[in-house]
């Protein structure tokens, strides 16, 4: 009887440099900005045959009650600069960066990503994100200039324009033919675009990279974000790492692809996840509890509650019950964080109900709602759980966020990856050079337009 081929697991790694997801106070934790930390994590991911290494982005330091939110790890270098350096010390690992489509310009982003694709031999990826708030915009003198409803229309046009720029060079536009005395063809790099958000024309300076277009990643969870991913992305990040919820998200996003003439394999769904590995399941559970309490300190717990309640709760005991006051409707104590900007009243009601049902303290509640670690157990337990999640269509793989920098991937790569390889669901060697090869997503069709053909997108 023929057997159905099992899905291959896709793995990526993210430097844990924002929010309270890194145990920076652990004595084994090292610098979040030194190049050595980036190199070690990236090379460990490549040793584990991961698809890519990912750097998130924050364009402004978050503030809590008017001060820098120093419970986060801050001071992150610029993503594409770091990845350019990593391209010189890796050979196959994909290099992915968040770059904001609200506070950048298409020409600059297209040029930087095409450059990274050349430097890395075809391993670049762009996580397209938008920003909603005037708070971030103050760093760019654009505070409040773009309505939230326009975020995705600008992002869609931004992405379309970057693709026009990449396609302004054909594969034969740089012949360097000494016999014909022709180094570059006359029409190379010409572009002209007139749209709602951008009206630009000129010559794009950078020939097409090895991938044609860098891999496009999207991380929106709203309906508009899911449509954007279904129409344009190669990978979508997800926060859904609980299997039942993840399956619903998976089905919803995959079903949207047909509308755009795409098949389910053309978009990879990869939730963020964390892993705690020890010799036994019991040891792993104890270690995970230790990690979680390190990540959610008493100060962190109070800050999370203040972000939802909009009140100063510093007089409350973090190991005591939730505050007996209602949230302040108009107060926002935490700026620059999208999680607590909407529906705070409903969030508070849900949290209070959970705390009462489970008899949770403030700190225990924050630990509970943060979700803790995703995969916990012995190497075999973790490998089986990851495989089951993928085979049952909860995801196509995971973006793993270690709690330590730079050694947080070592146990997974050394102890779990070999078991996934043994199962036949994870590569033993890279079979291609391009990031698109690792992901199994084909390059887009070449869509260059004749010189002078302007595209109206109003």
Binding residues for FMN: 98, 152, 222
Output helix, strand, coil percentages for the chain, rounded to the nearest 5: 40, 15, 45
Which tokens belong to 176?
């360097």
> How many CB atoms are closer than 10 A to CB 37?
18
The reply to whether omega before 406 is within 30° of 0 (cis) is yes
The DSSP call for residue 442 is P
CA distances from 406 to 39, 82, 387 (A): 9, 15, 25
C-alpha 241/C-alpha 248 separation (Å) is 11
Query: Pick from 273, 208, 264: which is nearest to 234 by CA?
Result: 264
CB 229 within 8 A of CB 200: no
Binding positions are 98, 152, 222
Identify any residues that bridge with 400 across adjacent strands, giving them in sequence order: 13, 273
Q: What secondary structure does DSSP assign to 321-357, as a single string?
A: PPPSSPPPSS---EES-STTSS-HHHHHHHHHHHHHH
What b/e readout covers 394-421, taking b as 16+ CB neighbours within 10 angstroms? bbbbbbbbbbbbbbbbbbbbebbbebbb
Query: Pick from 26, 32, 44, 398: which is nearest to 246 by CA?
Result: 398
Query: Pick from 159, 96, 100: which is nearest to 123 by CA?
Result: 96
C-alpha 266/C-alpha 386 separation (Å) is 21
C-alpha 8/C-alpha 391 separation (Å) is 8
């Amino acid at each position: 009887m023929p057997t159905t081929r099992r899905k291959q697991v896709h793995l990526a790694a993210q430097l844990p440099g924002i929010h309270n997801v890194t145990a920076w106070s652990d004595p084994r934790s090292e610098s979040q900005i030194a190049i050595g930390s980036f190199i070690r994590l990236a090379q460990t991911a490549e040793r584990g045959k991961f698809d890519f290494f990912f750097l998130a982005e924050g364009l402004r330091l978050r503030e809590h009650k008017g001060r820098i939110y120093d419970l986060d790890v801050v001071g992150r270098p610029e993503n594409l600069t770091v990845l350019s350096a990593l391209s010189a010390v890796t050979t196959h690992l994909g290099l992915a960066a968040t770059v904001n489509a609200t506070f950048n310009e298409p020409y600059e982003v297209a040029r930087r990503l095409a450059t990274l694709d050349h430097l890395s031999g075809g391993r670049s990826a762009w996580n397209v994100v938008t920003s909603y708030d005037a708070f971030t915009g103050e760093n760019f003198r654009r505070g409040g200039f773009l309505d939230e409803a326009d975020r995705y229309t600008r992002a869609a046009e931004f992405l379309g324009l970057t693709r026009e720029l990449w396609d302004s060079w054909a594969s034969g536009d740089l012949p360097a033919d000494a016999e014909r005395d022709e180094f570059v063809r006359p029409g190379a790099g010409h572009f002209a675009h007139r749209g709602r958000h951008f009206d630009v024309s000129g010559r794009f300076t950078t020939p097409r990279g090895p991938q044609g277009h860098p891999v496009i990643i999207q991380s929106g969870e709203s309906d508009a974000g899911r449509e954007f991913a279904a129409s344009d992305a190669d990978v979508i990040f997800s926060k859904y790492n609980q299997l039942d919820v993840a399956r619903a998200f998976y089905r919803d996003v995959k079903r949207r692809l047909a509308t755009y003439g795409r098949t389910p394999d053309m978009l990879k769904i990869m939730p963020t996840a964390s892993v705690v590995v020890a010799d036994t399941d019991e040891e792993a559970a104890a270690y995970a509890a230790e990690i979680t309490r390190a990540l959610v300190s008493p100060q962190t717990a109070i800050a999370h509650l203040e972000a939802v309640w909009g009140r100063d709760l510093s007089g409350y005991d973090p190991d005591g019950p939730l505050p007996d006051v209602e949230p302040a409707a108009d107060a926002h104590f935490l700026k620059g964080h999208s999680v607590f900007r909407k529906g705070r009243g409903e969030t508070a009601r849900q949290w209070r109900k959970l705390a009462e049902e489970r008899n949770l303290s403030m700190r225990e509640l924050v630990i509970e709602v943060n979700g803790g670690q995703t995969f916990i157990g012995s190497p075999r337990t973790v490998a089986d759980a990851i495989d089951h999640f993928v085979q049952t269509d909860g995801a196509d793989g995971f973006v793993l966020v270690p709690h330590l920098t730079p050694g947080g991937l070592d146990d997974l790569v050394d102890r779990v990856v070999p078991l996934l390889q043994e199962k036949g669901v994870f590569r033993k060697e890279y079979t291609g050079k391009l990031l698109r090869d690792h992901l199994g997503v084909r390059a887009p069709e070449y869509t260059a337009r004749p010189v002078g053909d302007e595209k109206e997108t109003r």
